[in-house]
Structure 1
Amino acid sequence: MIRVVVVDDEALVRSGFELILRAAGDIDVVSTAAGSQAMREVGLHRPDVVLLDIRMPDVDGLTILREIRGMPDPPVVAMLTTFDSDEYIAAALRSGAAGFILKDTDPEQLAQLVRTLAAGGVVLSPKVTRAVVDGYLDGGASAAAARRVAQLTDREREVLVLIADGLSNADIGARIHLSVGTVKDHVSAILAKLEVGSRVQAALLAQRAGLLEQSEDLL
Structure 2
Amino acid sequence: MIRVVVVDDEALVRFGFSLILNAAADIEVVAAVPGGQALEAVAAHAPDLVLLDIRMPDVDGLSLLRRLRTLDRPPVVAMLTTFDNDEYIAQALRSGAGGYLLKDTDPDALAPLVRSLADGAVVLAPKIMPTVVEGYLRHHRDLETGTARTAALTRREHDVLLLLAQGLTNTEIGRSLHLSVGAVKEHVSALLAKLAVNNRVQAALWAQRAGLLDEVAAP
Q: When the two structures are superposed, what TM-score results if normalisation uses the length of structure 2? A: 0.81
Aligned partners of 1:128 and 1:144: how far apart in 2?
27
Q: Residue 175 of structure 1 aligns with which residue?
A: 176
Q: Residue 199 of structure 2 aligns with which residue?
A: 198
Deviations 1:180-214 (A, max 9, x none): 46535643553354332432321221233454576
Does the 8 Å contact 2:84/2:128 carry over to 1?
A: no
Q: Residue 63 of structure 2 aligns with which residue?
A: 63
More divergent stretch after superposition (133-142 vs 97-106): 133-142
Aligned partners of 1:180 and 1:40: how far apart in 2?
30
Aligned-pair distance for 1:156? 4.5
Aligned-pair distance for 1:48? 1.4
| AA in 2 matched with 1:106 | D
Q: Residue 49 of structure 1 aligns with which residue?
A: 49
Does the 8 Å contact 2:53/2:79 carry over to 1?
A: yes
Q: Residue 159 of structure 1 aligns with which residue?
A: 160
| AA in 2 matched with 1:201 | Q
Q: 1:172 to 1:93 in 2, by over 3 A?
A: same
| AA in 2 matched with 1:61 | G
Q: How does 1:134-153 map to 2 (within 5 A)?
A: 134-141=134-141, 143-144=143-144, 147-148=147-148, 151=151
More divergent stretch after superposition (180-189 vs 77-86): 180-189
Aligned partners of 2:47 and 2:147: how far apart in 1?
39
More divergent stretch after superposition (151-160 vs 110-119): 151-160
Secondary structure, aligned partner of 1:87: coil
Does the 8 Å contact 2:95/2:198 carry over to 1?
A: no
Q: Residue 188 of structure 2 aligns with which residue?
A: 187
Aligned-pair distance for 1:95? 1.6
Does the 8 Å contact 1:53/1:81 carry over to 2?
A: yes
Aligned partners of 1:128 and 1:145: how far apart in 2?
26
Q: When the two structures are superposed, what TM-score results if normalisation uses the length of structure 1? A: 0.81
* Unpaired stretches in structure 1, ≥5 consecutive residues: none
Identity of aligned residues (%): 63
| AA in 1 matched with 2:36 | S
Secondary structure, aligned partner of 1:117: helix
Q: 1:105 to 1:210 in 2, by over 3 A?
A: farther
More divergent stretch after superposition (124-133 vs 146-155): 146-155
Does the 8 Å contact 1:145/1:208 carry over to 2?
A: no
Aligned partners of 1:115 and 1:194: how far apart in 2?
26
Q: Between Structure 1 and Structure 2, how many residues are aligned?
A: 218
Secondary structure, aligned partner of 1:97: coil
Aligned partners of 2:19 and 2:197: how far apart in 1?
37
CA RMSD of aligned residues (A): 2.9
Aligned-pair distance for 1:84? 4.5
* Unpaired stretches in structure 2, ≥5 consecutive residues: none
Aligned partners of 1:212 and 1:172: how far apart in 2?
16
